[in-house]
Chain A
Amino acid sequence: MFDLFAKVFGRDDASKEVAKERLRLVLVHDRASLSPQALENLKNDLLKVISEYMDIDDQGFRVDFSRHDESMALVANIPIRSVKRKSL
């Protein structure tokens, strides 16, 4: 009965959508040859450098790949708590 219902109204949980989303993510890493661990290291390095210039919220700090058609971008979302006053 549920199957019929699902068929008539279309399913949001169609497993191919899950497959595509998982593939999309895994292929970005495969193609960039960056493992999740490497991405984590990159994030930590960025955090270190940026922290020298401003006070950032490391909990809200996100680094990820973003793909638009054929091109790929590294997108970092860095919430700033405060910018340090120039000490010189």
Chain B
Amino acid sequence: MGEAIVITSGKGGVGKTTTTANIGAGLAKLGKKVALIDADIGLRNLDVVMGLENRIVYDLVDVIEGFAKLKHALIKDKRFENLYLLPAAQTRDKTAVSPEQMRELVTQMKEEFDYVLIDSPAGIEQGFKNAVAGADKALVVATPEVSSVRDADRIIGLLEAQEKHHPFLIINRIRASMVKKGDMMDIDDMIEILAIELLGVVPEDEAIVVSTNRGEPLVLNLQSRAGEAYRNIVRRLEGEEVPMMKLEDESGFLYRLRKIMGLKG
């Protein structure tokens, strides 16, 4: 029996989809059998981030309505044969699926996969309720900005009200140079405010844009700091104790020098 994990945030654009793609690819790289579900019906994106947009035949709604079998709708990843994507429907909306149907589908998928990762849409409405319905665990992605932290707090409140979810925090897009100047909240500030367990910290990294352009998860890139951060998150999910990565000032001379020389940060 596998584990279902929802990746959520409340606010849009903080990196849910990128996080889902990278954790999924990272777990698959460790040999786990992984399924990713894009629960953002009507605004699907996990397919493009994974570089699988040309392979879609059936989608989540087709499976739930019984129009397609799950095994026919799952798209096998290009790089890992134990990684699959169940894409969202693009021409439907969130009301096409109910939380009960999602719970049923996720339970069924947990029989076959070690991990089922569910990429939640932004917001706290039905799309969010659908995404969390079948999840055993929740990862809340937040950037160090007031709007994101506020929405994350709201989401944590909603998750804790359901009790069965144990939310973990992923701090995304943190910039060491701004933290150093006192112009960005640091890790301790965010943990103090949100009061949940920290799973990982991902530094701002231009390589994310490049990897999304290409449709290749960054977790496979051994040069990138963000890639390393995702690999650490994956190892923590697997129960390993991994110390938090030291944030490096990306505007610092040494960092740039090492980057130019192509050394791992």
Residue positions of A touching B, CB distance < 8 A: 7, 10-11, 14-17, 19-20, 22-24, 26-27, 30-31, 70
Contacts and interface: CB of A to CB of B under 8 A. Distances in A.
A23 B249 CA distance: 25
Interface in B171-209: 179, 181-186, 189, 193, 195
B185 A27 contact: no
A15 B193 contact: no
B67 to A, nearest CB: 41
Interface stretch (B13-21, B125-133, B147-155): B147-155
Contact of A16 (B150, B153, B189): B189
B181 A30 contact: no
Interface string B126-166: 00000000000000000001100110011001000000000
A31 B150 CA distance: 10
A27 B193 contact: yes
Contacts of B153: 27, 30-31
B7 to A, nearest CB: 22
A17 B146 CA distance: 11
A81 B62 CA distance: 71
A31 B10 CA distance: 15
B182 A15 contact: yes
Given A23-B150, A30-B157, 12 more contacts: A14-B182, A15-B182, A15-B183, A16-B179, A16-B182, A16-B183, A16-B185, A16-B186, A16-B189, A23-B193, A26-B150, A30-B150
Contacts of B145: 19
Interface size class of B (residues with CB under 8 A): 10 to 19
Contacts of B154: 30
Contacts of B179: 16
Contacts of A16: 179, 182-186, 189
A19 B145 CA distance: 8
Interface string B29-45: 00000000000000000
Given A16-B189, A30-B154, A31-B157, A23 B183 contact: no
Contact of A24 (B182, B183, B184, B193): B193
- B145, B193, B195, most chain A CB atoms within 10 A: B193
A45 B181 CA distance: 45
B185 A19 contact: yes
Contacts of B149: 23
Nearest to B182: A14
A22 B146 contact: yes
Contacts of A10: 182
Contacts of A14: 181-183
Given A23-B149, A23-B150, A7 B185 contact: no
A27 B179 CA distance: 22
